Amino acid sequence: MQIENINSICCIGAGYVGGPTMAVIADNCPNIKITIVDLNEERIKLWNSADLTKIPVFEPGLKEIIKRVRNKNLFFTTDVENSIANCDMVFISVNTPTKTKGIGAGKASNISWVEACTRQVAKYAVGKTIVVEKSTIPVRTAEAIKTILENNSEKNTSSGGCSFSVLSNPEFLAEGTAIKDLQNPDRILIGGEDEVSIQALKNIYLNWVAEEKLITTNLWSSELSKLTANAFLAQRISSINSIAALCEVTGADISEVKKAIGLDSRIGQKFLNAGPGFGGSCFKKDILNLTYLCQHFGLPEVSAYWEQVVRINDWQIYRIYKMVINKLFGNVTNKKIAILGFSFKADTNDTRESPSIFICRELLVEGAFLSIHDPKVSSTQIGLELGDIGEENKSNWSHSIELEETFDNADAVIILTEWEQYKKIDWDLVASKMRLPSWVFDTRKIVNLEEIKNCDINFWQVGLGDNHI
């Protein structure tokens, strides 16, 4: 039987992609029943919690959608078997982190979670099932998925057997703007061979996305486009950060350079904000995956080219840390440093690969006391990310709930995340609470120079340095 309209979807993986993506589909497609399954019971419990401030992913606009659709046509469960058996389409939305051991360790993506859930689909699917890769995966992963599924398509012969079709439908949402991105995507990319399945997936998106935004390619182009998009985006950040460093030593101002180059319509203004280095769960892992693939396919020069994007990023984080130490006379022992922001960007509670982690860890190891503020990240999460910092340092940080208290007797403030509330800080007031000589390090370029230059504070800003004094 050919499926043209999908009545039920199962999404495997209730994370930062699975949750928001399915919520937006459910909101726009009230006739489709969507079940999100995850092996992590705690996560599912939180998605089902009556108090919507407790859902595990913070995204502006998400809880309002969850309120509308949860237990109407969107369900969260750990029941993998029934969720797969009762659906027409399965989205694989599980994590694909960098391998930590074996061949390709440190670069290649670990697709063991993708393989594990493919085997679950093979085991429990009934009738025709369309399997959609939503996770970001190495090129040609669809081949492995197909092979696993085809080896199982003869089962259940009494009920007519089961059949599968595999599509690639990478996700381009950015955290912090996930709902906006999903509601109004630049494009929806679908890679595949089976026209009927492609049309079935298109029909879902056509409920709210204009047809001209739906583009189709072969499977491998779709898989590779996702890695390439992330590599190009990250490359822009490493490019602007490298020029920011040059600005700081030459007297140029990165804001002015950004404006001047961005007005060239071929370059454009977007994604050119200098910062402490990119964080997030994907840029680094996806570029490293790309470099591994290039090496695997005999293209070492291409691999080295993209690897440099990650190296510049690591260097940017390190140079900011080193600069802070230098400005504080090469010594932070027993100094109090206020850290503003722990998430990898504003408007998300995600801390994965956040530059704050490295900077805070190193400062603690150097002997500093940290007062860490973030409006959405919990102290448990901060503690988990800081990991083992040594017995002697483990009580040298505190999670500051009230922003105002963060500055009391601090020697320095480091702004690491561009949360809106940090843009409204009264620096005169802050100066009166800090110990002299005090420093503010703005790695996000959110402090207005005019508002701070007459305060009794030394000021450093990314892409400007302290050249303004």
Tell me the per-residue interface mask from 225 to 254 with ligand UGA, x by CB under 6 A, - otherwise: -----x--x---x-----------------
Please choose, out of 28-36, 111-119, 272-280, 372-380, the segment that lies near ligand UGA by the rule CB under 6 A: 272-280
Output the smallest distance, CB 416 to ligand UGA, in A.
10
Q: Which does 372 bind (CB under 5 to 8 A by kind): ligand UGA, ligand NAD, none?
A: none
Does 94 engage in binding with ligand NAD (CB under 6 A)?
Answer: yes
Give the separation between CA 23 and CA 388, rounded to whole angstroms.
36
Output the smallest distance, CB 136 to ligand NAD, in A.
4
User: Where in the sequence numbering do the catalytic residues fall?
Assistant: 282
Residue 3 near residue 196 (C-beta atoms within 8 A):
yes
Residue among 182, 189, 282, 339 that touches ligand UGA (CB under 6 A): 282
Surface-to-core class of residue 266, CB atoms within 10 Å of its CB (0-12 exposed, 13-18 middle, 19+ buried): exposed
Does 239 engage in binding with ligand NAD (CB under 6 A)?
Answer: no
Tell me the per-residue interface mask from 185 to 224 with ligand UGA, x by CB under 6 A, - otherwise: ----------------------------------------
Q: Measuring CA to CA, which residue among 345, 399, 344 is closest to residue 370?
A: 399
Does 13 engage in binding with ligand UGA (CB under 6 A)?
Answer: no
Q: Measuring CA to CA, which residue among 234, 219, 356, 222 is closest to residue 291?
A: 234
Residue among 28, 35, 83, 96 that touches ligand NAD (CB under 6 A): 96
Output the smallest distance, CB 335 to ligand NAD, in A.
35
Other C-beta atoms closer than 10 Å to the C-beta of 66 total 22
Gyration radius of the chain's alpha carbons = 24
Output the smallest distance, CB 108 to ligand UGA, in A.
17
Residue 448, C-beta contacts closer than 8 angstroms, at least 6 positions apart: none
Report the residue count for the chain.
469
Residue 127 near residue 160 (C-beta atoms within 8 A):
yes
The sign of the CA dihedral 155, 161, 165, 170 is negative
Output the smallest distance, CB 169 to ligand UGA, in A.
12
Does 422 engage in binding with ligand UGA (CB under 6 A)?
Answer: no
Give the separation between CA 2 and CA 205, rounded to whole angstroms.
19
Positions touching ligand UGA (CB under 6 A) are: 136, 171-175, 230, 233, 237, 271-273, 275, 278-280, 282-283, 344-345
